[in-house]
Amino acid sequence: MEFFNFHTHQFTNQSNVLELVNQYPNEFDDAIPFYSIGIHPWYIVEERLESGLKIIEEKVQTKNCLAIGECGLDKRVEVPLDLQIAVFERQLALAEKYKKPVVIHCVAAFQEVIAIKKKMKISVPMIVHGFSKNSQIANQLIKEGFYISIGKYLLRNPELKTVFQEFPNNRFFLETDTIDENLELVYQLAADYKDLLVKDLQGIISSNFKEVFGCEM
């Protein structure tokens, strides 16, 4: 596989792209070959929580489920933070039990996510997706053992160039998330920023994939 899309909400079925498609327990599509599954903090409904977690536990035991998530914390939504934390921790426990990486959604709650990782002694890889913040936050996440995935904001915010350039090569992924732009555009810009050929960037991502997911792309 030439390209890896770490996080997308759209299955495009391109022969040269391995897509980690975001799925929700109550809207599951069996036709998607590789996916992550989780309860997003925006969509926590207490009445559906137990059934959702049961579906996640079933799916996470299959080879097509590469990760749990996206899940995490978001201080800019009305869902109570205590409830978000409880749901996040339940999913992290499943990730630990079944040794699956975790796709993290985090808005204005990086310190809380870091604290939970430490408290629960999470050993599986945790990847903050959709990164759009500054070097200080990036460096703290990397120091605490997180990976970072970037894409949409890299295309749309030139100020992220220097932030991305400081990412260690063994700690990042690329993604499209919800945007329509082609993943190859993200790779080309990332390669330019890192002063690399696209094929060399592909090698870096392939190596990171093997490290996090324990298999070849």
- Distance between terminal CA atoms of the chain? 6
9 neighbors 22 (Cβ within 8 angstroms): yes
Query: Which residue, among 30, 48, 39, 120, has the nearest Cα to 72 in the 3D structure?
Result: 39
CA dist 20 and 102 (Å) reads: 12
- Which residues are registered as beta bridge partners of 172? 148
Phi/psi for 109 (5° steps) reads: -145, 35
The 3-state secondary structure of 138-152 reads HHHHHHCCCEEEECH
Of residues 173, 119, 108, the one with CA closest to residue 146 = 173
Asked whether residue 177 is marked as a ligand-binding residue, the answer is yes
Determine if residue 216 is labeled as part of a ligand binding site. no
- Secondary structure of residue 5 in the 3-state scheme: strand
Q: Annotation-wise, does 129 bind a ligand? A: yes
Q: What are phi and psi of 196, to 5 degrees?
A: -125, 160
Q: Is 58 annotated as a binding residue?
A: no
Q: Kind of pairing, strands 65-74 and 126-128?
A: unpaired
Residues of the binding site: 70, 105, 129, 177
Residues of the binding site for a divalent metal cation: 70, 105, 129, 177
